[in-house]
Amino acid sequence: MLKPAFREKAVKPPQHWQQLACGSWLKDQVEQQLAEECKRLYGYHFARVGCLSAELSLPQFAIAHQFSVAAALHEQVQVQAKSSDWPFAEASLDAILAVGQLEFEQDPHQVLRDLSRSLIADGKLIYVGFNPLSPNLLTSLWPGKMKQYPWSGRYFTKARLVDWLTLLNFEVTVERYFAPSFLLERWGLLQTGAERLFNVLPQCGTLYLVIAKKREFPLTRITARQKQRQLRPNLQSAPLANQTQPKEY
C-alpha cells in the first residue's frame, strides 16, 4: 500500500547542486537531457521552480522571458516564493521546469495543482525527479547518508507522478530514465556495473524525465448516442390534417 504523499513537515530542499552526492555530474546529466527538449518550447513566459532548476545552463530557445522561483535567497533566483503558495495567475505561463522539487515538499499534490493552474492550455510541465528504484539507494544505507542530499528527500516513482498528472488533465509526451549511478565518486567498478545494469533495466536510472502537456477537455461528456442524435437530420412528418388529399370528381 502506498503511503500518502502528504508529510507532516517539509524538508529543506538543496540550494546548490554541489550539496548533492556527485552533484556536478548529475547537473551535467540533466542539462544533456533538457538540451534537445528545450528546443521544442515556444511561448512568452518560462518559469524554473527551485534553486536546482535556476542553476541549470540551458540553451537558447524560443521563449524570451525566463525567470526562477524559489523560497530561499539565491543569486540566480528572481522571484522569492514558495511553490506551495504559487504567486502566478491562472493561465499565465507557457512552460514550467522543476528539478527534484516534489521530493522535499510537504504537499506535492497541492504544488502540482498550483503549477497546473498557472499553465496555459497546451502549456508544458517539465519535471526531473529522483528514482526510488535506483541502486544508489543502497548507498544511503551507509551510516549518516540518509540525512544527506538527495537521500534526505522522499522519492516518488515515475508511474506515480504520471498518474497525478493524468488526473490533472495532462498528456504525458516524454518519459524516460537516465543517469545510472551509485552516486559514489571513488568506486569506478560500481559505476560500470550501474551502467551495465541500466542497459538491461532502464528503470534503474538515478533520475527520470517527464514532460507533460496541459489539456482542456469539455466539462460535459457527450455519449455516442447523443452524438448520433446531433448528426441525425431533424425530419418531421407533416400532420395528417395538413396532408393533401386527392379530390374526387
Q: Which long-range contacts (CB under 8 A, 24 or more apart) does 56-59 make?
A: 56/27, 56/30, 56/31, 56/97, 56/99, 57/31, 58/31, 58/34, 59/35
Averaged pLDDT score across all residues of the chain: 89
- Give the count of domains, the chain: 1
- pLDDT of 140: 87
* CATH code of the domain in which 91 resides: 3.40.50.150
Q: Is residue 146 part of a domain?
A: yes
Q: Is residue 228 part of a domain?
A: yes
Task: Report, as an integer, the average pLDDT of 146-171.
Answer: 95
- pLDDT of 65: 95
Q: Is residue 119 part of a domain?
A: yes
- pLDDT of 231: 61
- Which residues span the domain enclosing 176? 17-234
Q: Is residue 11 part of a domain?
A: no
Q: Is residue 43 part of a domain?
A: yes
**Distance, CA of 4 to CA of 107 (rounded, Å):** 10
Q: Is residue 248 part of a domain?
A: no
pLDDT digit string, tens, across residues 11-69: 899 999 999 999 999 999 999 999 999 989 999 999 999 999 999 999 888 898 999 99
Q: Is residue 59 part of a domain?
A: yes
Q: Is residue 48 part of a domain?
A: yes
